[in-house]
Structure 1
Amino acid sequence: MRAGLRQFSDGLRAGRYRATEVIADLIRRTRQADETRHAFVYLDDEAALAAARAIDSRLARGEDPGPLAGIPVAVKDLLAVDGMPPARAGSRIDVADLIGEEGAFVQRLRGGGCVVMGKTRTTEFAAGAHNITHRMPLNPVDGKVDRSPAGSSSGSAVAVAGGMTGFAIGSDTGGSIRVPAAFCGVCGLKTSRGLWPLDGVFPLSPHLDTLGLLTAQADDAAFVFAGLQGEPELPIPELKRLTIGYEHYADDILCREVEHAYDHALRALANGGVNLVPVSTWTEERATVERLFGRLVAGDLRKALGETRLARDWDRLDPVVQERLAGATGIDQAEVDELIGELERLRMKARQRMNGLDAIVGPTSGIQSPPLAMLGEVGSAVQFVGRSLALSRVTNVQDYCAISLPIASADNSLPVGFQIAAAPWHDARLLAVARSIEGQFQERGLEFRAGI
């Protein structure tokens, strides 16, 4: 495997380089790159360098500050970070009262010695994959065309893909980590709902919100996850010992490039000895999933923001967000209760579906990154949001933990996301399986290699 964060950690603690020098160089390169990429809304040079100096001092005293010490991290501007401007959740309006003070998860990053570089851009309120009037970061996978990074963790994905941070934090309610990872050619981990605390995080939907990681590769994600959990990594399983479910999709779900890459990935797993078992798709549940996001999630957002704030600040919202919020007009508690009942029904069905399987795989998104110029109108942007997140939203409803790995399309010009999903609270096992699959993809030349 390519050198990654665990190799950086080993080298730092072995004295082969100093955290201060690494962070200072990274800040310089990030400021230069972000003049065109717009991944960050705030960079805190002074605090990052102070944290790096503290790590170097501890190492000089012979202390072991832990495996994550000195590793740079970028945090989505949905989370409060002490010493930085109040989180805006990608909005022009003030929602600091809904976020509060720095929460337990960011404190865990600090406690592990991570160097917090700054805050990354998000679509407004993390509600969807694109904004029209709020700036979108530029996807670094294409040096000729300005392409969408998707969302909502767009800035975090671009920061990792552009080499501006060691890893980044995102949130995932309907694919907001995994789809940006798929579009930008990086790895995106959606953890199990409830695994990591959500205090100090903007609340989109308490029924589906999760935090997660964006990294260059699954090996990095496993390393960071274990460090944050304070637990050892599980052994990487042999492919021939894995039983994995796979889905087939109708012609209108996957574009040609995604379908081709997905088929190649499945053949690589079969050739590696994986026992592949076909599982049914959720086509018959599509209308229910769409209603859950169109009414329940949008209703949760309306409730969090409050009707007084919405009436006062409506004209300052992005048109895509206005469209999303308008879809939940008139929702009442009886409908909310009914939708929660439907959500629980689908989660029970999903648990049964995973019986006997180590994981279920499928494409993260049915499409690849389009040019931003195609998304300038509300209609095209709303359609894009729905299509780009159609598959990933199902996984949130199923309550699985999941990871997206970047694989190559036929000409390797744009990446495709390959999702691996596992039963809730099996995150460590999911990461071990992902590392095994990642190794097979690398052996077979299927991994996406960004030309950046």
Structure 2
Amino acid sequence: MKTTCFLALIIVQNQTLSFYSYNLWIINQRFSLCSSVRSQGHPGMMGLFKTKPLVYRPVRDVDLGPQSDEFYLQAKVKAPRMTGILVKIFAMLMEIPLLGSLLLYILKGDNLIHKLVTHAELEEPPLFVPLHPFEDPEEHEVKCLESDLSPARQVQSAIECLPTYSEKKPSFCRWTIMDYHRAYTSGDVTPFMVAERFIAAVSKSSKPPYQMAFFIASNDEEILRQAKKSTLRYERGEPISVLDGVPVAIKDEIDCLPYPTTGGTKWLHKERPCKDDACCVKRLRLCGAVIVGKTNMHELGAGTSGINPHYGATRNPYEPTKIAGGSSSGSAAVVSSGLCPVALGVDGGGSVRMPAALCGVVGLKPTFGRVPHSGVLPLNWTVGMVGILAGTVEDAMIVYAAISGEIPSHEPSNIPVHLPLLGLTKSISNIKLAKYGKWFDDCNDEVRLCCSQALNKLQTHYGWKTVEVTIPEIEVMRLAHYLTIGSECNTSLDLIRGKYVSDQGWDARVALSIYGAFSSTEYVKAQKIRNRQLQFHKKILAEADVIVSPTTGVTAYSIQDDALKTGELDYINGAALVRYSIAGNFLGLPAVTVPVGYDKLGLPIGLQFIGRPWAEATLIYLAFAMQAACESEHKKPEVFYNLLSKE
């Protein structure tokens, strides 16, 4: 007992108690409270220090215009980074029944969970699932896919929407799906040759000096078997689609035979064996894609760095000493490094878009319910969804077309799939980009300057306009999202995770302890906040085509050696990485990130567009226009493999 108290004292003295719950980072600060939140009898910031509950102003009374008096509550994180012995001690303290409960209560109180969520009063009813009824977004210059098309025919429809092929390439570009298809069709290269080069490249990448840790599982014989079949189809002149023979990687949160689905753990597959391909994987196979393995990820998706103590830290191809981001770290890195033109991830809190931005590739998260979710680990079922990582917007659109809708044996979806006609970039005018300036600028100077310059390019090249708006209570939304994703993960694992405590990474153990501290009351209050935020966003998107922001608040940070075995708790950087991601997941809105530049170290920076429900065509169109304005400046990563020619 004396030892426990002594260790607890060490933690307190080092100010570590209040910093280890993903989005709970507002510590020991005195903030002015946003004007849409008031205390009964005590308006303004005084309500923050009273015992009476906060009362949120009704949505109808909140001004969303540029002159709104809403206060932007900026995160002020002063959290020491924890790895090694410190994170082990903290995890063990959290797991002591009485002491752990006390620490968790303090965590929630210090981080304003009690004030802003638990004891708050809201008139909005809860919204438990952000499944949007279909309303035609009235998109222009689009192609509507017929509901009974096979995945291969949907891919063909996407090809018909691409701009005219040009032999001219920027100084650096990744090989696209169409590049692979043309090379295979000409006979210059075969899928089997690409598979052999892929296997050699992955083997090389896993060794010093880089030790990239791209994959959790990859079977050479299985890859060659698929590639041989694809090669024979091309020799007969009968490829299934342009995806035939193209290497595609799958995040290890998605079922894909013959591999186990581990979720980045050493134990989850023992309780939930993989018995079939996920729906999205089936659709890719029906297009002839060569599935090359399961990519590395942050354990249970419970972090933003991609550092996995079981399978290694996925490293950033632009600078291998930096993180790739998480949790779809491996999927972003294999695309960035040229090993695959596309990969699948799962986005529960920016987990596709964050690593895409840090690794300099495109990340697309569709509307909630757009892509069938069967065969995906049920870790966060109302915020997580399958997303696409790709080297180009065109490739993201091709795979989006392939995996959208129902599998052929099911009733077709009644939600039409629209694809933009990308060859008509300058034909669509009057695009309005909603920008909340205080939020947009809440990033480091290099990210802010780069993203602002990217917006200027859109205005200069296409004449599109930026509309200033206010998005209230962004920090409150983050807390509510964290409550939601944490509660859902805890519920899905509650009956089994106790059996495998010793098999869990130390950072994951801390996360799971915090997830279990949320109550049913807090979960319901979070869903009321979800309803409230959705109304705010719908009002803004009724006046603008998309909301624009940076994708992350910082670029990729360094991997420290002491984090490799224990994982790390680094919520200063984590807070900055998730800053712009939450609305897409919590509200089920589609979102896309596209690379727009680099910082002074040559690390990528991404710009994000958040769209109306079911309006993926508009997002893809805007991302393509942004890509066209920036592609001449694209830089080659330090770790890059050219699979279409001998190196």
Under a length normalisation based on structure 2, what TM-score does the superposition of the two structures give?
A: 0.64
Higher mean C-alpha displacement, 390-399 vs 324-333: 324-333
CA 337–99 in structure 1, closer or farther in 2 if over 3 Å, else same:
farther
The alignment status of 1:107 with 2:295, answered yes or no, reads no
Per-residue Cα deviation, 1:30-85 (whole angstroms, up to 9, x for no partner) = 2212331111111221111111121222223332411211110111111121122x
CA 98–12 in structure 1, closer or farther in 2 if over 3 Å, else same:
same
What does residue range 36-435 of structure 1 map to in structure 2 within 5 Å?
36-84=211-259, 86-98=260-272, 100-101=274-275, 102-130=277-305, 131=307, 133-134=309-310, 135-142=312-319, 146-229=321-404, 233-236=419-422, 237-238=425-426, 240-249=429-438, 253-282=442-471, 284-293=473-482, 295-306=483-494, 308-373=495-560, 376=563, 380-411=569-600, 413-435=602-624
Q: CA deviation at 1:417?
A: 1.3
Q: Which has the higher contact order (CA 8 A, sep 6+)?
A: 2
Q: CA deviation at 1:253?
A: 2.3
Higher mean C-alpha displacement, 386-395 vs 180-189: 386-395
In 1, the alpha carbon distance for the partners of 2:505 and 2:471 equals 31
Higher mean C-alpha displacement, 19-28 vs 118-127: 19-28
Q: CA deviation at 1:132?
A: 6.5
Q: Helix, strand or coil for the counterpart of 1:342?
A: helix
In 2, the alpha carbon distance for the partners of 1:275 and 1:252 equals 20
Q: Which has the larger radius of gyration?
A: 2
Residue identity opposite 1:333 in structure 2: S
CA 27–385 in structure 1, closer or farther in 2 if over 3 Å, else same:
same
Q: Helix, strand or coil for the counterpart of 2:515?
A: coil
Under a length normalisation based on structure 1, what TM-score does the superposition of the two structures give?
A: 0.91
Please name the residue that 2:118 is paired with: none
Query: Does the 8 A contact of 1:79 with 1:99 survive in 2?
Result: no
Q: CA deviation at 1:213?
A: 1.1
CA 403–449 in structure 1, closer or farther in 2 if over 3 Å, else same:
farther
In 2, the alpha carbon distance for the partners of 1:219 and 1:176 equals 21
Q: Helix, strand or coil for the counterpart of 2:363?
A: strand
In 2, the alpha carbon distance for the partners of 1:442 and 1:138 equals 23
In 2, the alpha carbon distance for the partners of 1:108 and 1:132 equals 29
Q: CA deviation at 1:330?
A: 4.2
CA 281–205 in structure 1, closer or farther in 2 if over 3 Å, else same:
farther
In 1, the alpha carbon distance for the partners of 2:569 and 2:454 equals 30
In 2, the alpha carbon distance for the partners of 1:251 and 1:16 equals 47
In 1, the alpha carbon distance for the partners of 2:461 and 2:562 equals 40
Please name the residue that 2:30 is paired with: none
Higher mean C-alpha displacement, 348-357 vs 331-340: 331-340
In 2, the alpha carbon distance for the partners of 1:320 and 1:291 equals 21
- For the aligned residues, what is the CA RMSD? 2.5
Query: Does the 8 A contact of 1:412 with 1:449 survive in 2?
Result: no
Query: Does the 8 A contact of 2:252 with 2:294 survive in 1?
Result: yes
Q: Helix, strand or coil for the counterpart of 2:592?
A: strand
Residue identity opposite 1:91 in structure 2: T
Query: Does the 8 A contact of 2:349 with 2:585 survive in 1?
Result: yes
In 2, the alpha carbon distance for the partners of 1:255 and 1:312 equals 42
Query: Does the 8 A contact of 1:148 with 1:371 survive in 2?
Result: yes
Q: CA deviation at 1:381?
A: 1.9
Higher mean C-alpha displacement, 261-270 vs 1-10: 1-10
In 1, the alpha carbon distance for the partners of 2:359 and 2:302 equals 19
Question: How many residues are aligned here?
Answer: 445
Query: Does the 8 A contact of 1:182 with 1:417 survive in 2?
Result: yes
Structure richer in helix, relative to its length: 1
Q: CA deviation at 1:379?
A: 7.4
What runs of 5+ residues in structure 2 fail to find an aligned partner?
Answer: 1-168, 406-416, 640-647
Higher mean C-alpha displacement, 242-251 vs 58-67: 242-251
CA 351–449 in structure 1, closer or farther in 2 if over 3 Å, else same:
farther
The alignment status of 1:31 with 2:208, answered yes or no, reads no
CA 350–159 in structure 1, closer or farther in 2 if over 3 Å, else same:
same
In 2, the alpha carbon distance for the partners of 1:56 and 1:185 equals 31
Residue identity opposite 1:382 in structure 2: Y
CA 252–232 in structure 1, closer or farther in 2 if over 3 Å, else same:
closer
In 2, the alpha carbon distance for the partners of 1:17 and 1:59 equals 11
Residue identity opposite 2:262 in structure 1: R
Residue identity opposite 1:24 in structure 2: E
Per-residue Cα deviation, 1:318-371 (whole angstroms, up to 9, x for no partner) = 232223222233434343233223212222321221114332221000011110
Residue identity opposite 1:19 in structure 2: P
Residue identity opposite 1:63 in structure 2: E
Per-residue Cα deviation, 1:391-429 (whole angstroms, up to 9, x for no partner) = 112332232211111122353611111112211222233
CA 32–343 in structure 1, closer or farther in 2 if over 3 Å, else same:
same
State the identity %: 24
CA 100–340 in structure 1, closer or farther in 2 if over 3 Å, else same:
farther
In 1, the alpha carbon distance for the partners of 2:258 and 2:354 equals 30
Residue identity opposite 2:464 in structure 1: N
Residue identity opposite 2:487 in structure 1: G
In 1, the alpha carbon distance for the partners of 2:274 and 2:527 equals 27
In 1, the alpha carbon distance for the partners of 2:440 and 2:383 equals 29
Residue identity opposite 1:280 in structure 2: V
Higher mean C-alpha displacement, 75-84 vs 59-68: 59-68
Please name the residue that 1:6 is paired with: 178
